[in-house]
Amino acid sequence: MKKDIKRIAVFTSGGDAPGMNAAIRAIVRNAINNDLHIYGVHRGYEGMINGDIRRLETSDVSNIIHRGGTVLKTARSMRFMTPEGRKQAYENLVDNDIDALIAIGGNGTFTGAKTFMAEYPDIPILGLPGTIDNDLFGTDFTIGFDTALNTAVQAVDKIRDTADSHNRLFFVEVMGRHSGYIALHTAIAGGAGGVMLPEEESNIDDLIKLLKRGAKRSKLFSIVIVAEGNHMGTVYDIAHQVSEKIELYDDIKVTVIGHLQRGGSPTAFDRVTASILGFTAVEALLEGKSGMMVGIRNNNVAYTPFADAISKPKTFNKDLLRLAHILAQ
């Protein structure tokens, strides 16, 4: 049944992602445009349990579209995983007369939203995909992925200069415990000599063959992109194994980009994507939609049930992986 919605609360949860502020801004301004009261929950589900909820005005989201991180802050809440924690969160929402929620986050955020809705179905929830990993089913791109990718590529471009100058082999680790999207796109955009992903079984011998093919055409340096969740171990383990089997390079180095990929001013693509999704989420709640992630598929807004977004595997583009391996030769 369609619910009469007058008050919406928005929160960010889990890992931060560049573009979250652009989404918050769009939500707040479109809510006010629709004569709604809009509230911000600080520090995600943890703040919901603590009752850290306050009214937002359009001035609260001025001058934030270019900022990384999230002005609402974020947290990972163990208490929300318990029935007692969710009950306290629900009571705080009721005390603040909150009619609906918009959750910005990833897999864990949507899992929490799905559980919460099963226990308290009178509060509709929509989710926006805010995660740099781009690993959610039902959307081509997630908020923050493009910025993280550009950060990684910029780092690789700088590493290339010193690799070339010293005839070195560099192993560069990027984020992605369960998803290789950042690694694959970084490898292609950065002209890498190899890439190692969670989605592909690989071994040292195959990597050695690839590097030797490059050496045959007088390529005296190389960069290999390693997703942190690859199947061969840590980036340091891989570098050590390669060093014992190959003598093509003057030196072998390791660089872990780490949390640099999480921060920084969001790209124009992430700002526009986040703005579209935030704006649309408000409209969708007023239309009676709930229990869904609002994403982008084939350049159009698409709705995916939370259950599918968090459980179905995102199709990995094998043609893109084949392209990366061919271009690395």
Active site residues: 133
- Rounded to whole angstroms, the Cα distance separating 132 from 105 reads 10
Tokens of 30: 């479109």
Sign, CA torsion 319/230/311/260 = negative
Per-residue CA distances from 30 to 63, 161, 259, 281 (Å): 16, 46, 32, 9
- Rounded to whole angstroms, the Cα distance separating 90 from 22 reads 27
Token look-up 């960010």 returns 12
Q: Are 327 and 188 in contact (CB under 8 A)?
A: yes
Q: Are strands 53-56 and 37-41 parallel, antiparallel or unpaired?
A: antiparallel
- Rounded to whole angstroms, the Cα distance separating 96 from 194 reads 53
Per-residue CA distances from 6 to 9, 39, 92, 99, 122 (Å): 10, 11, 17, 7, 14
Neighbours of 153 (CB within 10 A): 20
Q: Nearest CA to 203 among 175, 174, 231?
A: 231
Q: Got the DSSP string for 7-70?
A: EEEEEE-SS--TTHHHHHHHHHHHHHHTT-EEEEETTHHHHHHHT-EEEE-GGGGTT-TT--S-
